[in-house]
Amino acid sequence: MDSEKIELEQGINEDGTIRESVSPNPLHCSTTSYLGISRTEEYNIDGGGTNTNGGRNDLLLISKTKHPREQQHEGSSLSHTWCRSLICRKPIEQLLGQAEQTELHRTLTVWQLVFMGIGAIIGTGIFVSSGQAAARNAGPAVTLSFVIAGITAAFAALSYSEMASMIPVSGSAYTYAYVTLGEFVAFIIGWNLILEYMVGSATVAVGWSGYFAKFFSVAFHVEFSPSWTTPPIQWIENSGSISYSPSHYFNVPGFLVILLLTFILVIGVRQSAHVNSTIVIIKLLVILIFIFSLCGFTDLANYNPYVPPNTTGYWREYGIPGIFAGASIVFFSYIGFDAVSTAALESNNPRRDLPIGILGSLVISTVLYIAACTVMTGAAHYTELGVPTPVSAAIDAVQLRTPGKNWQWLNIIVTLGALMGLSSVMLIGLLGQSRIFYSMATDGLFPPWFAKIHPKYKTPYVATLVIGFITAIMAAVLPVDLLGNMTSIGTLFAFLTVHVGVIILRFTQPDVERRFKIPGGKYFSLAYPIMGIIISILLITTSEVTTIWRLFVWVAIGCIVYFAYGIRRSVMRTI
């Protein structure tokens, strides 16, 4: 039989047993494991002197034995290695070791994590997506859409909380998939998270631009030309096509606000957290003022019919399918809580604080979503809410019904609150995206310069700047409804993976410490991730066919990137 000879400093006892490990680095041992399947190589040992214990010592020539079957398949060794790379999983111990050596500053408290979640969740759901879903899909029953999306998010939040307490490192669903499902699936999830955070921030920037123009109009009577506040590309819902408007040039406000927030993120996560906490407090006060100011001026006729019938033949418009279609759209509003888990390496006590931040922010946000949408659809007819500024549209409708009252003050306050609120959503989205890039670059799946840390601010500044610029360009030219649809479906796939990961780790890693565990005992608690899987699949199937196709195209591009670069440079190739 042929053999490869490698020199190793090694001792061996008289009975031929190896006295010490071949290598001090466990990653270079002869036993490897992929998805729980172990494989041990055979070695022939020659040479060596006699040690003081009576055994042979010093320099050994160890030859790895190749069996005849292995020799026959020599030509397929490369493809075999690639196949193993696709399914190789990262050990939890290795991740925890990397977390201990992080260069990022641990400065975030539990309340800053809660505010981070609220800052990312509350924004588009009230100020942008709610009007689109009500006018085009669910009508007044958009509140049910939020309930369905909230339940789905709650299942996901429980799974994320258990994962975050087990694996308190950056990367969110990408890292969790790496531990449970292997490198290839992890890369695809990370690739979809790029879609979630980057496209999500661009979506919010488009809505922010609309409120920016509205604020200057109501507060200072300054009108901005739509040519410079509206993206030139428009999305036609019924036909599923894209049109170009030559009268619209560039969304300047959306472009500039992304660049400003990118700069804030570069100078430090502590500064970013302080800015976000201030914004969140203002945003919550504004939403409460809106709810209590208009709750006594709703028109009950606007709730009838609560579930509008489908009269167009387009299956996503109204009726029961419209409620689920609306849920798949507003689900994008709930993606903020998973951004909390991307800040694990910058949290003071991630095992304890991450579950509190995730679940606390979700509960507060869901209650406010349902209350605000109930008031909004009662204040204005749902067909009037399909605009970039639905909250302002609701106030304008009340103004028409009550000409003796001046609602201008509320319009100014709400518009300013929307600007602040949407800013926090973009801030956390950009932060989460840069941490995903940082994690993937650290693993070798992206170029290493994405993992560069600023020597002064201790932030992944290269990833932050690149992501910020690309997002700003997208916000300048793409429409809000097209971006929102793409973001929701990418998020659902990420949640689906986390649910599966929780179930796998319950059986493969039952002894790993979990500061938070989904309630319900050993087996009943698994009903939560199982229900999360079912609902996620249901919402994915109710998405636009064109949106699903665009996701497939995006995943195909990701596969090209992985096989052209990631699989060759992955740090797991050394295992």
- pLDDT of the residue at 206: 84
DSSP state of 107: -
DSSP state of 72: H
Reported as a pLDDT band with limits 50, 70 and 90, residue 494 is: confident
Listed range (90-99, 115-124, 492-501) with the worst mean pLDDT: 90-99
Place of tokens 């790379």: 85
Residues 6+ apart with CB under 8 A from 455: none
| Residue among 342, 356, 305, 265 at smallest CA distance from 139 | 305
What's the mean pLDDT in 92-108? 71
Find out whether the peptide bond into 305 is cis, omega within 30 degrees of 0. Answer: yes
- pLDDT of the residue at 484: 57
- pLDDT of the residue at 210: 84
Write the pLDDT tens digit of every residue in 506-556.
Answer: 998 888 888 788 988 878 899 999 999 998 888 788 777 777 888 888 899
Phi and psi at residue 269, to the nearest 5°: -75, -30
- The proportion of the chain whose per-residue pLDDT surpasses 70, expressed as a percent, equals 79
Is the pLDDT reported for residue 79 higher than 70?
A: no
- pLDDT of the residue at 100: 66
Greater confidence, 287 or 478? 287
Phi and psi at residue 361, to the nearest 5°: -65, -35
Count other C-beta atoms under 10 Å from residue 201's C-beta.
Answer: 35
Is the pLDDT reported for residue 464 higher than 50?
A: yes
Write the pLDDT tens digit of every residue in 114-140.
Answer: 998 898 888 877 887 889 899 989 999
- pLDDT of the residue at 18: 35
The tokens for 240 are 């599923």
- pLDDT of the residue at 140: 95
Most confident of 352-361, 468-477, 565-574: 468-477
Beta bridge pairs of residue 5: 63
Residue 558 and residue 560: Cα distance in Å, rounded? 5
What's the mean pLDDT in 225-251? 76
Most confident of 13-22, 47-56, 150-159, 444-453: 444-453
Read off the amino acid at residue 312.
Answer: T
DSSP state of 543: S
Residue 395 and residue 415: Cα distance in Å, rounded? 11
Place of tokens 């123009």: 213
Write the pLDDT tens digit of every residue in 388-416.
Answer: 789 989 999 999 999 889 898 998 999 88
SS in 3 state form for 119-175? HHHCCHHHHHHHHHHHHHHHHHHHHHHHHHHHHHHHHHHHHHHHHHHHCCCCCCHHH
Phi and psi at residue 570, to the nearest 5°: -60, 135
Ordered structural domains, the chain, with CATH:
3-72 (no CATH), 87-574 (1.20.1740.10)
Is the pLDDT reported for residue 58 higher than 80?
A: no
Write the pLDDT tens digit of every residue in 378-392.
Answer: 999 999 998 878 998
- pLDDT of the residue at 429: 86
Listed range (195-199, 452-456, 478-482) with the worst mean pLDDT: 478-482
* pLDDT, mean over the chain: 79
The tokens for 301 are 């006729």
The answer to whether the beta carbons of residues 512 and 166 sit under 8 Å apart is yes
CA torsion, ordered 312, 317, 323, 328, to nearest 10 deg: 160
Residue 231 and residue 252: Cα distance in Å, rounded? 9
Greater confidence, 187 or 335? 187
Read off the amino acid at residue 202.
Answer: A
The tokens for 539 are 């919402």
- pLDDT of the residue at 449: 92
Q: What is the pTM of this model?
A: 0.74
Is the pLDDT reported for residue 74 higher than 70?
A: no
Residues 6+ apart with CB under 8 A from 456: none
Listed range (37-51, 73-87, 318-332) with the worst mean pLDDT: 37-51
What's the mean pLDDT in 454-473? 92
Greater confidence, 248 or 20? 248
